Amino acid sequence: VRGANRTTLADVAADAGVSVSTASLAFSGAGPVAPATRERVLASAARIGYRGPNPVARSLRRGQAGVIAVVVGDRLQRSFTDPVSAQTLDGIAQELGDRELGLLLVPSDTFGDAPALLRHGAMDAAIIAGLSAPGDAALQTLRERGVPVVCLEATRRDAATIGLEDRAGTAELTRRLLALGHSRIAVVTLPFGPQRRRRFIDPEDPPRAAYTPTRNRWAGVRDAGVVPVLALEPAMSLVEEGVACGHLLLDRADRPTAVIAFSDLLAAGVLLAARELGLRVPQDVSIAGFDGVDLPWLAPDVLTSVSQPLTEKGHAAAQAAADLTAGGTPRHLLLPVTPRPGTTTGPVRR
């Protein structure tokens, strides 16, 4: 139906009695065409049912696909239910839309082969959203194809990156807890790598995390001079995981007086666990998160957190991708975070 013999610009030109090039100009408006001719061409187009220039042909001629691929975790369901990803993607989509660039959405897990789309899809650049480890198949495939890449949440030499002041964020959060008199502080980290397992981490000597934000946020806590009394790596950044971690941390005699979770979703889970255990927040335990997302279902509580400029991050990523497409060199951007006061932290009770 679509692939069949649709009418082309040549048909229009023939019908209007002009050359193809003139017809082209009449449509694109990119050159001088007599108003009368223009009218005639447009009329012919309408008459014979011409649907406008074929975007693929245009792309071939221009040498640009007009499309930026956005690589997200394999399960969109998860990527999107997470407000952090959703809001970032929203920012990317806005900026790309403003520049009339298409957004090719490519789900791809970190391990295993890159999907066919990534290997063969038409794209001028790619944005790897979400956590990616150095050896990432997606990144590698893109490199081989020579597609310029923008990485979010990662440190890469060979790609543009949009980073975050993770480290300053958790440092600030930790200092605030210290100021409130907390000394027994536990941490729920982000995943260290793609393995997806829940496990206690040695707070004195944690393994090196493959994921940059995990590494940086941990470093921030240490910057504030704190060695956590307990540290737990969740399988994923999900509410359910937060609940599980919360139980492991709070349902014990030597309960910490404060918990820092490296994401709001995890912090929310810890809060729910505290509620289930009959603990009052913040009287019995203080809980801090990271991201500053809006979690209306946590009402009446609002997480004490650190906001990252998610929409802006998306804008920056899209902008970086567009720049690379235009031949720009990969730049490395670092976005600031700002403390967001909430109801879930308070002075330590003795």
Residues forming the site for DNA (CB under 7 A): 5-6, 8-10, 17-22, 24-25, 27-28, 30-34, 36-38, 52-54, 57-58, 60-63
Among 19, 81, 140, 338, binds a copy of itself (CB under 8 A): 81
Phi, psi (rounded to 5 degrees) for 332 = -120, 115
Q: Which does 332 bind (CB under 5 to 8 A by kind): DNA, a copy of itself, none?
A: none
Q: Sort 214 into a burial class: Cβ within 10 Å, 0-12 / 13-18 / 19+.
A: buried
Q: Do residues 27 and 52 make contact, with C-beta atoms less than 8 angstroms apart? A: yes
Measured from the CB atom, is 27 or 198 closer to DNA? 27
55 interacts with a copy of itself by CB under 8 A: yes
CA nearest neighbour of 212 among 159, 249, 175: 159
Shortest Å, Cβ 122 to DNA = 11
239 interacts with a copy of itself by CB under 8 A: yes
Q: Which does 32 bind (CB under 5 to 8 A by kind): DNA, a copy of itself, none?
A: DNA
Q: Which helix (H) or strand (E) holds 40?
A: helix 35-48
Peptide bond before 347: cis, by omega within 30 degrees of 0?
Answer: no
Q: Which two tokens mark 152?
A: 């979010």
Q: Tell me the DSSP string of 71-121.
A: EE-S-HHHHHHSHHHHHHHHHHHHHHHHTT-EEEEEE--SSSPPPHHHHH-
Shortest Å, Cβ 120 to DNA = 9
Which residue in this structure is represented by tokens 């009218």? 39
Measured from the CB atom, is 18 or 266 closer to DNA? 18
Shortest Å, Cβ 10 to DNA = 6
Among 145, 198, 331, 332, binds a copy of itself (CB under 8 A): 145
Q: Mask 247-266, x = binds a copy of itself (CB under 8 A)? A: --------------------
Q: Which does 30 bind (CB under 5 to 8 A by kind): DNA, a copy of itself, none?
A: DNA
The residues near 4 (Cβ < 8 Å, ≥ 6 apart) are none
Q: Which two tokens mark 66?
A: 């007009």
Q: Which two tokens mark 262?
A: 């490296």
Phi, psi (rounded to 5 degrees) for 306 = -125, 120
Residues 15-44 that bind a copy of itself (CB under 8 A): none
Q: Which does 46 bind (CB under 5 to 8 A by kind): a copy of itself, DNA, none?
A: none
Shortest Å, Cβ 61 to DNA = 4
Among the listed ranges 113-121, 159-167, 175-183, 342-350, the one in contact with a copy of itself (CB under 8 A) is 113-121
Shortest Å, Cβ 24 to a copy of itself = 14
Shortest Å, Cβ 82 to a copy of itself = 9
Q: What is the CA radius of gyration of the chain?
A: 26
Measured from the CB atom, is 22 or 189 closer to DNA? 22
235 interacts with a copy of itself by CB under 8 A: no
Query: Reduced to 3 states, what is the DSSP secondary structure of residue 237?
Result: coil
The residues near 326 (Cβ < 8 Å, ≥ 6 apart) are none
